[in-house]
Amino acid sequence: MGGRAALPEGRTRPLAAVAAFGVAALGLGWLAAEVPWLQAARALPLFALGATVYCASRLARRDARRTSRGILQAMAAVFATVLLAKIFFLGRIYQYGFVLALPASLLFVAALVSWIPGEIERRGGSPAVFRAAAFGLLAAVVYGHLLVMAPQVAAKTTALGPPGDAIRVEPGVAQVVTATLRTVREHTRPGGRVAVLPEGALLNFWLRRATPTAHFSFNPFELHVYGETEILDSFEATPPDAVVLFHQDTREHGARFLGRDYGRQLMSWIDRRYETVRLIGEPPLEPGTVFGARVLVPRSSLE
pLDDT tens sequence across 71-92: 888 999 999 999 999 888 888 8
pLDDT tens for residues 254-279? 899 999 999 999 999 999 999 999 99
The answer to whether the beta carbons of residues 287 and 168 sit under 8 Å apart is no
Residue 195 inside a domain? The answer is yes
If pLDDT is split at 50, 70 and 90, which confidence band does 3 have?
A: very low
The answer to whether the beta carbons of residues 250 and 220 sit under 8 Å apart is yes
The one-letter code for the residue type at 145 is H
Position 2 scores a pLDDT of 40
Tell whether 143 and 179 lie within a shared domain: no
The answer to whether the beta carbons of residues 52 and 78 sit under 8 Å apart is yes
Is the per-residue pLDDT at 4 higher than 50?
A: no
Is the per-residue pLDDT at 152 higher than 50?
A: yes
Q: Per mean pLDDT, which range of 14-23, 30-39, 215-224 is the poorest? A: 14-23
The one-letter code for the residue type at 6 is A
Domain boundary among the residues 137, 155, 173 is at 155
Is the per-residue pLDDT at 236 higher than 90?
A: yes
Tell whether 171 and 122 lie within a shared domain: no
pLDDT tens for residues 185-217? 999 998 899 999 999 999 999 999 999 999 989
Tell whether 20 and 151 lie within a shared domain: yes
Tell whether 40 and 150 lie within a shared domain: yes
Residue 123 inside a domain? The answer is yes
Tell whether 170 and 104 lie within a shared domain: no
Cα 194 to Cα 209: distance, rounded to the nearest angstrom: 6
Is the per-residue pLDDT at 62 higher than 80?
A: no
Cα 142 to Cα 93: distance, rounded to the nearest angstrom: 12
Is the per-residue pLDDT at 66 higher than 80?
A: no
Number of domains in the chain: 2
Average pLDDT over residues 148-164: 92
**Residue 213 CB neighbours (<10 A):** 20
Tell whether 264 and 293 lie within a shared domain: yes
State the burial class of residue 256 (Cβ atoms within 10 Å of its Cβ: 0-12, 13-18, 19+).
middle
Residue 6 inside a domain? The answer is no
The answer to whether the beta carbons of residues 218 and 197 sit under 8 Å apart is yes
Tell whether 215 and 145 lie within a shared domain: no
Q: Which domain holds residue 50?
A: 12-155
The one-letter code for the residue type at 226 is Y
If pLDDT is split at 50, 70 and 90, which confidence band does 22 have?
A: confident
**Residue 168: partners with Cβ closer than 8 Å, 6 or more residues away:** 156, 157, 158, 159, 160
If pLDDT is split at 50, 70 and 90, which confidence band does 303 have?
A: low
Residue 2 inside a domain? The answer is no
State the burial class of residue 84 (Cβ atoms within 10 Å of its Cβ: 0-12, 13-18, 19+).
buried
